[in-house]
Amino acid sequence: MAVKDRWLLGAVAGSQVVRFDPPSVALDIQSATPETAMAQKYLLPRLPYAYNALEPVISAQIMELHHAKHHNTYVTNLNKALQDRAAALKAGNKVDIQAIINFNAGGHINHTLLWQSMAPANVPESKVEAAPRLWEAIRQQWGEDADAFRKKFNEALLGIRGSGWGWLVREGNQGPLAIVTTHDQDIVAKHQVPIFAVDMWEHAYYLQYLNGKAAYVENIWNVINWKGAEERYLGESTDSFEDLKALM
């Protein structure tokens, strides 16, 4: 059975075409070396699309708050925690702020991957045809019916208690795919390669969907960036956060 190129959301079809810049070009991320990571100033990445580009799936209001407020807070708190840690080590005082670093570093990493995981519904990147190799692997693992994979993923998302994330990952560079969840701002396991992410924190959907979490989960499939997912599956994307992860 052929893979469907869109899970229906009627209003999407008539929406205005918007420009989509590949995340690899549009993201402004400053990476760190192991020697300088604690003093590194991490930057909020700019989005590869406008705040209203994911409407009607995700409102411009949510996108602006999510990116400019929530993600920016993780970046600000991460930089402060790294500066405090560096100063403490320089003074010879070991201060245990590892939990603060882990939480905010995870928030920065996860949200950067989230922006890369989405694309406007009316661009080629958001069609499953942009990920032929990935979808071949999905069909081999979850069956020919694309809805079977989607159902499994939705069940995992709706099964998260409290705040967290849903992920499609690859177990190592050559391993099988897996659907996994993480809580709060935990990142995926070290051996797992993230293919795409779905944010299940309430700030990602509540202003628009209220308690209709299931509707958010259904609609999010219309704005998955399958081209970016294919690149991560094939190992064509570099990990910009290797050095930051080493501090977690």
Kindly list the distances between the CA atom of residue 10 and the CA atoms of 92, 164, 239, in Å, as whole numbers in the listed order. Answer: 61, 28, 36
Which amino acid would we find at residue 165? W
Tokens of 7: 């899970």
- Is residue 145 a known part of a binding site? no
148: CB partners within 8 A, 6+ apart: 142
Does 70 carry a binding-site annotation? Answer: no
d(CA 51, CA 55): 9
What one-character DSSP code corresponds to residue 128? Answer: G
As to burial, measured by CB atoms within 10 angstroms (0-12 exposed, 13-18 middle, 19+ buried), residue 225 is: buried
Instruction: Please tell me whether 183 is known to bind a ligand.
Output: no
The span from the first CA to the last CA of the chain, in angstroms, equals 43
Helix 226-233 with 98-117: angle, nearest 10 deg: 120
84 marked as part of a ligand binding site: no
Give the gyration radius of the chain's Cα atoms.
Answer: 18
SS3 52: coil
Tokens coding 172 = 């190592």
| Sequence-ordered list of residues with C-beta below 8 angstroms from that of 101, at least 6 positions apart, any chain | 78, 81, 82, 85, 247, 248
Q: Which residues pair with 168 in a beta bridge?
A: 179, 196
Binding residues are: 66, 111, 199, 203
Write out the binding residues for Mn(2+): 66, 111, 199, 203
